[in-house]
Amino acid sequence: MSKTILITGGAGFIGSHVVRLFVNKYPDYTIVNLDKLTYAGNLENLTDFEKADNYIFEKGDIVDKIFIAELFAKYQFDGVIHLAAESHVDRSITNPMEFIMTNVVGTVNLLNAAKNLWKGKEEGKLFYHVSTDEVYGSLGDTGLFLETTPYDPQSPYSSSKASSDHFVRAYGNTYGMPFVISNCSNNYGPNQFPEKLLPLFINNIRNGKALPVYGDGKFTRDWLYVVDHAIAIDKIYHNGKNGETYNIGGFNEWTNIDLIKVLCKQMDIALGNDEGTAEQLITYVKDRPGHDKRYAIDANKLKNELGWEPSLQFEEGLAKTIAWYLDNEEWMDNITSGDYQNYYKEQYS
């Protein structure tokens, strides 16, 4: 069946994988990718399908409500998959307002536009909000986040995402907006901007630069290969139940320092260096303020109800990821010139 779907943030890391999957898998759909092209948005992530007949790119800001209203009037969307966001915790600590504008105000603009377009014709429509496990806060040494875990966001980033989740549910409850929300753990893979742990460290190792480990390095995250997240989004978009929340995770917990040591070993092999070369770059630095100790996801609802499971083992996903960054050095060099250097100096000096 033909549909027109708006995907926001499709020039970013996860969004580009979601757009690729939908453009290739659903030739009958028209996929409109709306992205502001902030520092994190990159048209180079989209070159393999940018000329596809069922794909349209629109540059624009979700905070601009007139632009958004016009976009919905122009395309008459049947569905929205909303990924556009400011997404980096460290940046949210230095500039929370940017996060409130894009993540909260931008999301409410999209909800209003969808509400106005779909009023009285909600059947078959869907607003899918892509969110994070960070809304649940920080865990102790045990326990897992369930869909029913109370929200307890601790950083400006997670607070803005929690707020936008609440607005999506409120529009469902108040105006009958058909919606689903998914809360996913840390993603890794090709095309991630090198401010997040793995691409930053891969880039630093290849350049012989220090690896800045926050605090004691004993913080725990669950890691999922980005393509598996995109596959989960596809499943939830098509088979998820209206009004439901689905946790997505890799069943794959690592402390930062253990993960970094595995990365160092694989990088030594990939670069043909002596074992132990990359590990010598590990440098403990001042901790992130309010650093969440542990995130861990129970993704069994998604597994049991929709039959989704991660397809890759972590070591395999990491090897694919390293290979991609080393094969795409130009991609990395292009985005780490200019403004990136200023960001790096401010964050790590």
Please identify every residue annotated as catalytic. 133-134, 157
Structure tokens at 120: 């009285």
Check residue 186 for interaction with ligand NAD (CB under 6 A). yes
Closest CB to ligand NAD among residues 37, 282: 37
Instruction: Name the nearest CA neighbour of 50 among 60, 42, 62, 38.
Output: 42
- Taking residues 93 to 132 in sequence order and writing x for each that binds ligand NAD by CB under 6 A, - otherwise, the string is ---------x---x-----------------------x-x
Check residue 91 for interaction with ligand NAD (CB under 6 A). no
- Taking residues 187 to 226 in sequence order and writing x for each that binds ligand TYD by CB under 6 A, - otherwise, the string is ---------xx--x-----------xxx----x-x-----
Check residue 129 for interaction with ligand TYD (CB under 6 A). no
User: What, of ligand NAD, ligand TYD, none, does residue 15 touch, CB below 5 to 8 Å by kind?
Assistant: ligand NAD
| Structure-token match 């939830």, residue found | 236
CB proximity list for 201: less than 8 A, separation 6 or greater:
211, 260, 263
| Cβ burial, residue 338 (10 Å; 0-12/13-18/19+) | exposed
User: What, of ligand TYD, ligand NAD, none, does residue 190 touch, CB below 5 to 8 Å by kind?
Assistant: none
Please state, in angstroms and rounded to a whole number, the distance separating the CA atoms of residues 92 and 154. Answer: 11
Phi and psi at 330, nearest 5°, equal -65, -40
Structure tokens at 169: 């549910």
- Is 135:151 a contact under the CB 8 Å cutoff? yes
- Taking residues 269 to 298 in sequence order and writing x for each that binds ligand TYD by CB under 6 A, - otherwise, the string is -------------------x----------
- Is 252:321 a contact under the CB 8 Å cutoff? no
User: What, of ligand NAD, ligand TYD, none, does residue 137 touch, CB below 5 to 8 Å by kind?
Assistant: none
Q: Which of 9, 172, 178, 199 binds ligand NAD (CB under 6 A)?
A: 9
Please state, in angstroms and rounded to a whole number, the distance separating the CA atoms of residues 165 and 104. Answer: 9
* Start-end of H helices in the chain: 13-25, 65-75, 89-94, 96-99, 107-118, 156-175, 197-206, 226-239, 256-271, 300-306, 314-327, 329-335, 339-348
Check residue 87 for interaction with ligand NAD (CB under 6 A). yes
User: What, of ligand NAD, ligand TYD, none, does residue 219 touch, CB below 5 to 8 Å by kind?
Assistant: ligand TYD
Q: Which of 20, 125, 161, 235 binds ligand NAD (CB under 6 A)?
A: 161
C-alpha to C-alpha distances, 253 to 144, 249, 259, 304, nearest whole angstrom: 11, 9, 9, 20
Q: Which of 40, 81, 114, 168 binds ligand NAD (CB under 6 A)?
A: 40
User: What, of ligand TYD, ligand NAD, none, does residue 221 touch, CB below 5 to 8 Å by kind?
Assistant: ligand TYD
Closest CB to ligand NAD among residues 45, 266: 45
User: What, of ligand NAD, ligand TYD, none, does residue 322 touch, CB below 5 to 8 Å by kind?
Assistant: none
What part of residues 140-159 is at the interface with ligand NAD (CB under 6 A)? none
Phi and psi at 130, nearest 5°, equal -90, 115
Check residue 199 for interaction with ligand NAD (CB under 6 A). no
* Start-end of H helices in 30-105: 65-75, 89-94, 96-99
Please state, in angstroms and rounded to a whole number, the distance separating the CA atoms of residues 290 and 251. Answer: 25
Closest CB to ligand TYD among residues 125, 221: 221
- Binding positions for ligand NAD, rule: CB under 6 A: 8-9, 11-15, 35-38, 40-41, 61-63, 83-87, 102, 106, 130, 132, 161, 184, 186-187, 193
